[in-house]
Amino acid sequence: MNRIGIDAGGSLTKIAYEENKRLRLKTYPSNQIDKVIQWLKTLAPEASLQVTGGRAEALKDNSATISIFKEFECVIEGTKYLLMTENKLPETDYLLVNIGTGTSFFHKKERLSGTGVGGGLFTGLGAIIANTPNYHTLVDLASKGDRAKSDLMVSDIYQYNHSPIEASLTAANFGKDQLHPSVSTEDQLAALTQLIGETIVLLASAAAKSLGTKEIVMIGGALTGNPLLKQVIASFESMLDYNLTFLEKGSHAGAIGALYYGE
């Protein structure tokens, strides 16, 4: 391999490279940057590194052939590449939502806004709830929970009257008695996933509406191996009237953009 794209993010370091004309992807926790460096020295000591992300400088002293690119531009370009190669390019303009440690919203070549609600919130609060910072363990526990045992639902408030809005909606995240013995760690993590998904969906739909588009493309490391978060986001698609696209390799959009940047 002659060139490697790397997105050194706050939580994960994503790697993209070509081998035998096929795109290959790897992921390391960002607190294991030494393992990334060892992998590079062992398998690709002569490769040119094209790096982006908030922790890009951590790799700067470990290669004489390193170029650092702007993160937002790499994410946008990587997304365009994936939309074309995965045959999912929307027919009209779209809002791009990148759910990583935090969440950013892009349109064309501009970052519109962002929020700290994302994968970092999930692992941070998840560690308090479940006493483990392991992302995959937290995702697995959340998938086994019932968020309705932790969230106060609209149906809980309108038990005896007809609800003026959809009864399955959340009235208050974590609004039930969290000390009640029937509320488990799994239930609370499912509620946390719901809170994150709901918040991102509401912000994304409002941004898309302001742009005059119904097309929303979702990428980011927080979606990787997290079907529950995808399910929460997708559950609002018809209600809020938007068209949602998830990219299979969207977690590595920044690294892919860095790999092909300037080609």
Question: pLDDT tens for residues 104-135?
Answer: 999 998 999 999 999 999 999 999 999 999 99
Cα 123 to Cα 136: distance, rounded to the nearest angstrom: 10
Residue 224: domain span: 95-246
Residue 44, domain member (yes or no): yes
pLDDT at position 10? 81
40: domain CATH number is 3.30.420.40
Beta strand 243-246 with 215-219 is parallel
Regarding whether 171 and 231 lie in a shared domain, the answer is yes
- Residues with active-site annotation: 71
- Edge-first strand order for the sheet with 3-8 is 22-29, 12-19, 3-8, 48-52, 66-68
Residue 34, domain member (yes or no): yes
Residue 45, domain member (yes or no): yes
The average confidence (pLDDT) of the chain is: 91
Regarding whether 127 and 51 lie in a shared domain, the answer is no
Query: What DSSP letter does each residue of 98-140 carry, written as one string?
Result: EESSSEEEEETTEEEEEES-SHHHHHHHHHHHHS---HHHHHH
- HSE on the CB side for 182, CA within 13 Å? 8
Cα diameter, the chain:
70
Cα–chain center distance at 78 = 14
pLDDT at position 61? 64
- Give one word for 68, left, alpha or beta, with left for phi > 0 and alpha for psi -120 to 50: beta
What band does 69 get if pLDDT is binned at 50, 70 and 90? very high
Q: Compute the residue count for the chain.
A: 263
Residue 83, domain member (yes or no): no
Is the pLDDT assigned to residue 64 strictly greater than 70?
no
Regarding whether 99 and 70 lie in a shared domain, the answer is no
Per the structure, how many domains does the chain have? 2
Cα 241 to Cα 137: distance, rounded to the nearest angstrom: 33
Give the tokens for residue 243: 């068209």
